[in-house]
Structure 1
């Protein structure tokens, strides 16, 4: 079986194609999946304060934003696999050398240098964002975008839970920089998986003609596309702000580091059924109701975490609501994006928009912290969740109407 896979590339419709491509796309900015662990490490033994930790994560994300913007202009002009390979090789080098940069500055100055780590992670983010943008464009060209992006979210939350559970032990066995070894490991594994994937040419005119039949008229309007992008960015800002500081929120409520990691890891597993919703149901039952329910759960989660005397039970329930709804909403929205533009370019724009939200969330959150209180930040996140719903309602509703209009035509033919 293994010999067959090595000598023959996987078919485009093979389940492993979806799985491998989703994993490689995830690896570009893998830290997003276990961001609380990264923030905890930066604000812990590495030696930065809470605001600096959030800023480092934010600049990593802004580097990813630049890389994803570059990908928008490259995806139709390049052979994606060689470009992806170079991006992954350079990203692995940056991830591994981050440990050296931090330890060298700690030896010479006594503490890890903030500017050095900030600039180094920004540079790493550029190559991670470029690989992410390319991966999004290729995922959008697969036959089933709901399955493609659902698989991506499924992998993200699986990886997030596993890493959050193992990270305390890894830090004890290695050092405070263990999270960067984990990031490099995912990139190296992606390099191993890349040769198995089919060409999936994103510059092939014949492929584009075939995929163009998926396009729709109502949902493809510029206004709806703009609202959809704004909805994605606002939801990501609020979700990533909470995600970045959820570990410190638990520690601030007098929970131990091991307990917080275990709570995040176990509740993060609820992201798996959330990500599987689009894979199982696709668009057969519509996406609007799932999005309404998901945003409502996200709002409740933010409010519960803002409780003054946060108990472990409330903490677990709040995270469960967010971790279940987040992947479902994102995979449905990415599927909507893929249907608006089957060439894959708008999906790459969505990757850029998502990167803006993921990078801006921790940065905005770091500016809303006051005297180690997270309440103001959480209230703002709840309001941003509500705003995202109003932005998303019209484009998703338009696509639901278009889908219902096309179903009778399909049955009559």
Structure 2
């Protein structure tokens, strides 16, 4: 007698499994400081080459996420997700044996394409679940929780075991996600709830929301990819930096938890404006990283607000189209930002100074804080008029 495990399509378990699926395609971003530092210390890559490996990986993800926009309503998502997970595991295994900078860039670029497509597919499925902000909250909860373990434990292992420790961690995560995939409901397009405005996509606020996602992710990842080296440039040691990064990632659990609890209960405009402002302040504070307390506080604060803000920003994109195309497009904007940050940073920090990089990140965050007011106020207004789902 065959036994079937039934998972409630809107329950906590399914939100966690979707979070694992989406995280599997981009988990390397959560341990990016460990990867960049490992490439520099273990394989002798230059700062520029290490940063470009990160950029190739995430630009590949942007290409994959864009491809998902066109695929998600044309193919059944489960077999596609399974093939992509197998591809990710294969590319991570190959990466263990690569030591040439150009080969590593190309290998990670291909890995990124598959990972980005998986994230795009996952975001599209998340858009078909009720209370989309809450599901993105679970996503950030998983990312920051396990990312904290990664950035705390992996950097000290890289000098001993090389980059293999980093890529084996990614393989393990993808394997767990693969096993969870078969427990998820079908989430067919035709069963999805209606989008904002009864299906008519409002392109102007959507484009602004996508730009907000890009700026926010570029600003944060440009600094985060080099945060270990940044700390070292101010005289801090890896023994001090690694635990701080783990703690700051776990602090992100607070931000993700707040999204799960609040959803849209207090609207989107003021919570997002306030949290982005805190991110801006913490980023500026990195100018004073020689002070251990300031470095600690800035990283912890960014950990909390990063999880909080991006969950809302991605949720805003998803609400414009419940079939999932705009959620996948939000994933594309996110990955383009995540890739552009390290790429720009790789050229700014070649001399070992981080002053200009911090200033540019601060300007990008200020831009995000101001322009996201338009789509958030629109959605809050539609909530009040009863045209959108209310948490």
Which residue does 2:226 correspond to in 1?
Answer: 245
Residue correspondence of structure 1 range 267-306 to structure 2 within 5 A: 267-306=248-287
Asked if 1:142 corresponds to 2:129, the answer is: yes
Q: What is the distance in 2 between the residues matched to 1:177 and 1:297?
A: 36
Q: Which residue of 1 aligns with 2:291?
A: 311
Give the secondary structure class of the aligned counterpart of 2:197.
coil
Q: Which is worse superposed, 179-188 or 247-256? A: 247-256
Q: Are 1:19 and 2:16 matched, yes or no?
A: yes
Whole-angstrom CA distance in 1 between matches of 2:276 and 2:257? 17
After TM superposition, the structure 1 = structure 2 runs for residues 185-204 of structure 1, keeping only pairs within 5 Å, are 185-202=172-189
Contact 2:49 2:101 in 1 (8 A): yes
| Among candidates 314, 323, 328, match of residue 348 of structure 1 | 328
Task: Find the counterpart in structure 2 of residue 232 from structure 1.
Answer: 213
Report the alpha carbon displacement of residue 78 of structure 1 after superposing the two structures with TM. Answer: 0.9
1:35 to 2:24 alignment: no
- Checking the alignment, whether the CA contact within 8 Å between 1:133 and 1:352 is kept in structure 2 is yes
Matched residues, number: 390
Per-residue deviation, residues 42-77 of structure 1 (Å, max 9, x unmatched): 111121011111100000001111111111111001
Q: What TM-score do you get using the length of structure 1 for normalisation?
A: 0.90
- Aligned counterparts of 1:118 and 1:336: Cα–Cα separation in 2: 33
Aligned position for 1:406: 386
- TM (normalized to structure 2)? 0.95
- 3-state SS in 1 of match to 2:182: helix
Instruction: Give the equivalent residue in structure 2 for 1:388.
Output: 368
Cα distance in 2, alignment partners of residues 409 and 255 from structure 1: 48
Aligned twin of 1:96: 93
TM-superposed CA distance for 1:175, in Å, is: 2.8
- 2:252 and 2:305 in contact (8 A); partners too: yes
Q: Distance in 1 between matches of 2:86 and 2:18?
A: 16
Does the 8 Å contact 1:294/1:325 carry over to 2? Answer: yes
Q: In structure 2, how many angstroms separate the alpha carbons of the residues matched to 1:364 and 1:219?
A: 36
Distance 1:370 1:126 in 2: 27
CA distance in 2, matches of 1:21, 1:146: 13
Q: Which runs of 5+ in 1 are unaligned?
A: 103-111
- Whole-Å separation in 2 of the counterparts to 1:291 and 1:408: 19
TM-superposition CA deviations, 1:126-169 (whole Å, max 9, x none) = 11111111000001111120111110011110011011121145
Following TM superposition, where does structure 1 have runs of at least 4 consecutive aligned residues deviating by more than 6 angstroms?
Answer: 407-410
Work out the CA distance in 1 between the residues paired with 2:75 and 2:103.
32
Alignment match, 1:62: 59
Aligned-pair RMSD on alpha carbons?
Answer: 2.1
Q: Select 1:325's aligned residue among 305, 323, 326.
A: 305
Distance 2:11 2:52 in 1: 40
Counterpart of 1:7 in 2: which secondary structure? Answer: coil
- Counterpart of 1:107? none
8 A contact 1:65–1:352 mirrored in 2 = yes
What is the CA deviation profile of residues 160-193 of structure 1, one whole-angstrom value per residue up to 9, with x for unaligned ones?
1011121145436633331111111111111111
Gaps of 5+ in 2: none
SS at 1:216's partner residue?
helix
- 2: CA distance, partners of 1:154 / 1:163: 14
- How far the C-alpha of 1:277 sits from its partner, in A, is 1.4
Aligned counterparts of 1:219 and 1:80: Cα–Cα separation in 2: 24
Contact conserved, 1:219 with 1:225, CA < 8 A, in 2?
no
- 2:79 pairs with 1:82: yes
- In the superposition, relative to structure 1, how do residues 408 and 243 fare at CA in structure 2: closer, same or farther (>3 Å)? closer
Write out per-residue CA displacement over residues 181-232 of structure 1, whole angstroms, 9 at most, x where no aligned residue. Answer: 1111111111111111111123xx2x13xx01x4237994211111111111
2:18–2:122: 8 Å Cα contact kept in structure 1? yes
CA distance in 1, matches of 2:374, 2:134: 23
Q: Distance in 2 between matches of 1:51 and 1:218?
A: 45
Which one has a bigger Cα radius of gyration?
Answer: 1
